[in-house]
Copies of this chain bind each other. A is one copy, B any other.
Amino acid sequence: MNRPIGVIDSGVGGLTVAKEIMRQLPKETILYVGDTKRCPYGSRPEQEVLDYTWQMVNFLLNKNIKMLVIACNTATAFALEDIQTKVSIPVVGVVHPGARSAIKVTENEKIGVIGTKGTIKSKVYEQALHSINNAVEIYSHACEPFVPLVEQNCLEGEHAQSIVEEQLARFENTALDTLILGCTHYPLLQPLIQEAMGERVAIISSGDETAREVSTVLFHSELMQTDDVHPAHCFFTTGSQEIFSQIANRWFGTALDNIIEIRLD
């Protein structure tokens, strides 16, 4: 079905998810909204996150999207259920795909979760994991310095390495074999995280897993675009087009066409 998939995020972090959807589903068209002006959502009150998220959703519903992806862990934690019950299209968040993959991959049922303060405090991963398997042991930690690191483009080198090691040191005596990156910024630090955790720990990136779940849900809802078209993606930002473009370029090494400034409030 040749209608676009809507992807929303508090800023640019969700581009890691959008990029994976484009790679895994190259026939699908993406409309992305990044609320860059009001980013980050991580420390905002629940009602505010819910209101802002609904503004993005309503903007995209007016553009006839066939599916909505909430590519932000905080917005998924606070708004997924409410949106799922109120809209008629399928809605996919980033939490359950990550949880499902961790349960698939773990051999000893000891799973770590890292994310922003808001996500960790909401216990949304605990709920998702235990809804599937009560026996799973979960170790979670809010890695507050990670988002600033990524936003300063400090993705390698001694400084970044020492911060990553320091944050992950708390998992030292847990014997976990799987770690969920519960924040869409974190995949950009994945090499350092993998190094700090050791090769034996499987790292689960929400983005990759969410793209796959989008594929599954599209198929079972008979919404897949199966004809070969050249999709014209579009990226909407509440902040500066120039800064959005720079960050996208820096992270992905490719220029994004069609970046458009919008107002939501």
Identical subunits present: 2
Q: Which residue of B lies closest to A217 (CB)?
A: B220
Q: How far is the CA of A249 from the CA of B90 in the complex (A)?
A: 41
Residues of B within 8 Å of A134, CB to CB, are 27, 228
A213 within 8 A of B: yes
A interface with B by C-beta (< 8 Å): 24-27, 90, 92, 96-97, 100-101, 103-104, 131-135, 208, 211-213, 215-217, 219-220, 224, 226, 228
Dominant SS among interface residues on chain A: helix
Q: How far is the CA of A90 from the CA of B222 in the complex (A)?
A: 12
Residues of B within 8 Å of A25, CB to CB, are 132-133
Minimum Cβ distance to chain B for residue A194 (Å): 17
A90 CB contact (under 8 Å) in B96, B97, B220: B220
Residue in A103, A132, A133, A217 whose Cβ sees the most chain B Cβ within 10 Å: A132
Contact across chains for A104 and B27 when beta carbons are under 8 A apart = no
The 5 lowest CB-CB distance pairs between A and B, nearest first, are A131-B226, A216-B216, A134-B228, A100-B215, A104-B212
Q: How far is the CA of A215 from the CA of B213 in the complex (A)?
A: 10
Contact across chains for B216 and A217 when beta carbons are under 8 A apart = yes
Q: Which residue of B lies closest to A216 (CB)?
A: B216
Q: Which residue of B lies closest to A101 (CB)?
A: B212
